[in-house]
Amino acid sequence: MQKLNIVLKELTLYLRSKMKTNHNRHVSFGDLFSDRWETAKFLGFGDGTSCYNNVLVLGNVKVGKNTWIGPNVILDGSGGQLVIGDYCSISAGVQIYTHDSVAWSTSLGVEPIVKADTIIGNGVYIGPNTIVQKGVNIGDSAIVGAMSFVNKDIEQHSTVFGCPIKVRETKGDL
């Protein structure tokens, strides 16, 4: 066992030095041993999609092709269908839900957990640490700024940000 620990430690140091030399960056231990595209493929996501190994995926989640899912993201489809389209960027720390347990918690379990599908269109950018509530539909090519709270639908080609979100700009069909 001690020999295995030494070998793993040496391998880790070697991989980290290669990453630092080749890419001038430091990555977490898990990233040294995982392939983000293989992780996405294992989860059944679309071709060319990339997903960090520390993403939490629960329930019914479908992700299209060529979508990037950053580190520490929560994709919670346990309350309904969560759909993310093609060519999306889901930044670090984003949380997307299909359920809401506020009424259930505050009623001491008398009220049900509220569930609804959450749909994100194609070409959507969601900035870091944003929360998307259950039942929201985000239209194609929408931009959601960092640290936003998305509690209502967003039209296609809109730029929104804030807590709760406010529409800042909407462009016509491109």
What DSSP string describes 98-134? SEE-HHHHHTTTSSPPEE--EEE-TT-EE-TT-EE-T
Residue with tokens 């030095």: 17
Q: Where are the domains of the chain?
A: 1-33, 35-166
DSSP 8-class letter at 46? P
Question: Whose structure tokens read 């950053």?
Answer: 70
Per-residue pLDDT at 170: 87
**pLDDT at residue 132 in the model:** 99
Q: What are phi and psi of 120, to 5 degrees?
A: -120, 125
Residue 93's alpha-carbon distances to 9, 96, 103, in angstroms, are 29, 10, 25
Q: Residue 36's pLDDT is what? A: 79
Rg (Cα) of the chain, in Å, rounded?
19
DSSP string of 126-174, one letter each residue: E-TT-EE-TT-EE-TT-EE-TT-EE-S-B-TTEEEETTTTEEEEE----
Look at the domain 35-166 and name its fold: UDP N-Acetylglucosamine Acyltransferase; domain 1 (2.160.10)
pLDDT score, position 11? 77
| Local mean pLDDT, 10-residue blocks, the chain (174 residues) | 81 72 59 72 92 92 98 96 99 98 94 97 99 98 98 97 90 65
Token look-up 């999609």 returns: 49
